[in-house]
């Protein structure tokens, strides 16, 4: 069967693709930027093809999808901001329907949120509106509705993890007493695969959840129990939504925009209505504690497939990130260093591919932490995002306060773009080049300032650049790669 998979580089899409291939299907993966699609492993399978589309635009018919029989709609934009994400999601859904009209498609499968309450958050109301748009067409729709998804790399899992691991005592907002029905990521994937071309699921919606109905406070305490921590939690009635959003933002790895939407959604109870789907698909629901244990098994084995932090919002309105792949020269301030490699270049390449996260930046770790803290205090992302895998990088991944624009291991090049708060734009590039049978590391920091403030910023931090960038380049040349997660000495 030929299947269209939207959101193929997102948290769910990356995990669903291998399952569909293993079932013997041919999959057309929709991505907004082909460069973000990995080129190794399952992604290079003969049954996988890539289609570069932007569902915020009106799209012409494509020959590549004329013979598709089913499509997964996994386009969401909770992280796109608190103001216009509903309009963007509506536009994406309408353009998607037009895009698949006239094909052989017989089913659309949509993963959405549980919307059983009378008063919904803006986020859940938008999801419900998208469902109604998809259902308004002539193509049968199967809606799978989930609440909190528990799995390595999921937004809810990582936020709960941050809170539990960082705070022995928590003074929390009253929405921690809101009830929810968490579901394990492996169960979500079983449902998504299981409903494919089942006649009894067409034009129907199904709530899915685990066996436990818990308050957010209970989820935090049970998470702590699984990890062997003792935690005390006190809820207070006076914390406003804005203050709650700042609390989540400063304590966890979430962005402020996402924190606003999360707080808005967490005031609504998300409990699944009973249905027969789990029994029909022979799915035994995974308990919350077991889902947490399974997630940490993946983390400890360095086998986290996807993370919410790496996924650009599918209806991300600003395409500028895709334009930064070509590093400018004119009007830029540049710090360029070149070092001769005396050992094996592949070992240096492995050091480059292990940069950031727990390993750090090879020199001046405390300075990087200070810079991350300063960024966080002005509303930036800081260093808290880390990295998904200790020594593997894909184009589009987050790397602390950088975004990976190019991860070309074959050509020995890594290009990062700064997502920190800056009076300008910044790139950091690492490349190993060959010259007369000798190898050299080229490390280039490029800054395009905005006005006088940008130039003042560059020259203010210039003394630190001399030590940090020089030390980083020198340490990258050290023979042998440190074990994953082990920082090199300053």
Instruction: Look up the CATH number of the domain holding residue 383.
Output: 3.30.530
Segment among 95-99, 183-187, 292-296 with least mean pLDDT = 292-296
* Domain harbouring 243, CATH code: 3.40.50.720
Domains contained in the chain, number: 2
332 and 284 in one domain?
no
Q: What is the pLDDT of residue 161?
A: 82
353 and 287 in one domain?
no
* Closest listed residue to residue 86, CA positions, set 132, 146, 142: 132
C-alpha distances (whole Å) from 76 to each of 6, 7, 55, 126, 152 are 10, 8, 11, 10, 19
Above 80 in pLDDT, residue 5? yes
Q: What is the pLDDT of residue 86?
A: 83
Summarize pLDDT for 459-478 with one digit per residue, the tens: 898 888 888 999 999 999 98
* Closest listed residue to residue 458, CA positions, set 331, 338, 324: 331
Domain annotation covers residue 485: no
Domain annotation covers residue 314: no
Summarize pLDDT for 277-293 with one digit per residue, the tens: 999 999 999 999 999 99
Q: What is the pLDDT of residue 104?
A: 93
What the block records as the tokens of 132 is: 């109604």
Residues 6+ apart with CB under 8 A from 470: 337, 363
Task: Give the residue, 390 or 232, on which the prediction is more confident.
Answer: 232
Above 80 in pLDDT, residue 339? yes
Q: Do the bridges between strand 402-408 and strand 413-418 make them parallel or antiparallel, or are there none, so unpaired? A: antiparallel
Above 90 in pLDDT, residue 137? no
Reported confidence tier of residue 239, pLDDT bands at 50, 70, 90: low
343 and 409 in one domain?
yes
Share of the chain above pLDDT 70, in %: 85
* Closest listed residue to residue 269, CA positions, set 174, 389, 180: 180
d(CA 9, CA 358): 24
Task: Give the residue, 475 or 323, on which the prediction is more confident.
Answer: 475
350 and 272 in one domain?
no
269 and 178 in one domain?
yes
Domain annotation covers residue 321: no
371 and 251 in one domain?
no
Domain annotation covers residue 99: yes
Domain annotation covers residue 68: yes
Domain annotation covers residue 121: yes
User: Which domain does 429 fall in, by range?
Assistant: 327-476
Domain annotation covers residue 316: no
Summarize pLDDT for 364-386 with one digit per residue, the tens: 888 888 888 888 777 777 777 77
139 and 284 in one domain?
yes
Q: What is the pLDDT of residue 325?
A: 63
88 and 45 in one domain?
yes
Q: Do the bridges between strand 438-449 and strand 333-341 make them parallel or antiparallel, or are there none, so unpaired? A: antiparallel
What the block records as the tokens of 471 is: 């030390």
Q: What is the pLDDT of residue 350?
A: 92
470 and 338 in one domain?
yes
Reported confidence tier of residue 76, pLDDT bands at 50, 70, 90: confident
410 and 275 in one domain?
no
d(CA 273, CA 16): 24
87 and 210 in one domain?
yes
Domain annotation covers residue 204: yes
Above 50 in pLDDT, residue 81? no
3-state SS track over the chain: CEEEECCCCCHHHHHHHHHHHHCCCEEEEEECCHHHCCCCHHHHCCCEEEEECCCCCCCCCCHHHCCCCEEEECCCCHHHCCCCHHHHHHHHHHHHHHHHCCCCCCCEEEEEECCCCCCCCHHHHHHHHHHHHHHCCCCCEEEEEECCEECCCCHHHHHHHHHHHHCCEEEEEHHHHCEECCEEHHHHHHHHHHCCCCHHHCCEEEECCCCCCEEHHHHHHHHHHHHCCCCEEEEECCCCHHHHHHHHHHHCCCCHHHHHHHHHHHCCCECCCCCCHHHHCCCCCCCHHHHHHHHHHHHHCCCCCCCHHHCCCCCCCCCHHHHCCCCCCCCCEEEEEEEEECCCHHHHHHHHHCCECCCECCCCHHHHHHHHHHHHHCCCCCCCCCCCCCCCCCCCCEECCEEEEEEECCCCEEEEEECCCCCEEEEEEEEEEEECCEEEEEEEEEEEECHHHHHHHHHHHHHHHHHHHHHHHHHHCCCCCCCCCCCCCC
* Boundary residue ending a domain (266, 301, 336): 301
334 and 285 in one domain?
no
Above 70 in pLDDT, residue 174? yes
């Amino acid at each position: 069967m030929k299947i269209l998979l939207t959101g193929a580089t997102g948290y769910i899409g990356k995990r669903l693709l291998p399952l569909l291939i293993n079932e013997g299907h041919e999959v057309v993966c929709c991505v907004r930027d082909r460069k973000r699609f990995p080129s190794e492993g399952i992604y290079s399978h003969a049954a996988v093809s890539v289609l570069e589309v932007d569902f915020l635009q009106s799209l012409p018919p494509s020959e590549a999808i004329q013979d598709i029989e089913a499509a997964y709609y996994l386009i969401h934009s909770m992280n796109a901001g608190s103001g216009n994400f509903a309009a963007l999601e509506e536009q994406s859904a309408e353009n998607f329907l037009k895009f698949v009209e006239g094909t052989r498609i017989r089913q659309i499968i949509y993963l959405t949120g549980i919307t059983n309450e009378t008063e919904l958050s803006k986020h859940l109301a938008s999801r419900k509106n998208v469902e109604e748009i998809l259902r308004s067409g002539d193509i049968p729709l199967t809606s799978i509705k989930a609440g909190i998804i528990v799995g390595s790399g999921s937004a809810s899992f990582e936020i709960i993890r941050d809170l539990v691991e960082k705070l022995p005592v928590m003074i929390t907002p009253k929405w921690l007493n809101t009830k929810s029905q968490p579901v394990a990521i492996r169960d979500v994937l079983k449902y998504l695969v299981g409903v494919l071309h089942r006649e009894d699921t067409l034009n129907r919606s199904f709530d899915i959840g685990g066996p436990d109905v818990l308050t957010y406070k209970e989820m935090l305490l049970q998470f702590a129990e699984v990890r062997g921590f003792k935690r005390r939690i006190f809820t207070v009635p006076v914390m406003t939504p804005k203050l709650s959003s700042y609390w989540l933002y400063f304590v966890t790895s979430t962005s402020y925009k996402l924190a606003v939407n999360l707080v808005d959604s967490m005031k609504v109870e998300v409990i699944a209505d009973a249905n027969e789907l789990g029994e029909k698909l022979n799915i035994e629901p995974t308990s919350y504690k077991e889902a947490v244990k399974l997630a940490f098994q993946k983390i400890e084995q360095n086998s986290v497939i996807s993370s919410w932090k790496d996924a650009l919002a599918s209806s991300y309105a600003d395409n500028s990130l895709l334009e930064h792949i070509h590093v400018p020269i004119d009007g830029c301030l540049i710090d360029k260093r070149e070092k001769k490699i005396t050992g094996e270049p592949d070992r240096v390449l492995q050091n480059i591919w292990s940069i950031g996260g727990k390993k750090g930046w090879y020199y001046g770790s405390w300075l990087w932490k200070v810079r991350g803290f300063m960024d966080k205090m002005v509303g930036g992302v800081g260093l808290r995002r880390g990295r998904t895998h200790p020594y593997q990088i894909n184009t589009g991944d987050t790397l602390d306060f950088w975004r990976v624009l190019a991860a070309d291991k074959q050509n020995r090049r890594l290009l990062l773009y700064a997502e920190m708060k800056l009076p300008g734009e910044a790139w950091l590039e690492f490349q190993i080049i060959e010259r007369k049978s000798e190898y050299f590391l080229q490390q280039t920091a490029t800054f395009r300032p905005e006005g006088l403030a940008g130039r003042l910023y560059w020259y203010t931090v210039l003394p630190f650049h001399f030590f940090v960038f020089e030390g980083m380049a020198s340490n990258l040349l050290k023979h042998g790669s440190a074990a994953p997660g082990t920082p090199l000495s300053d």
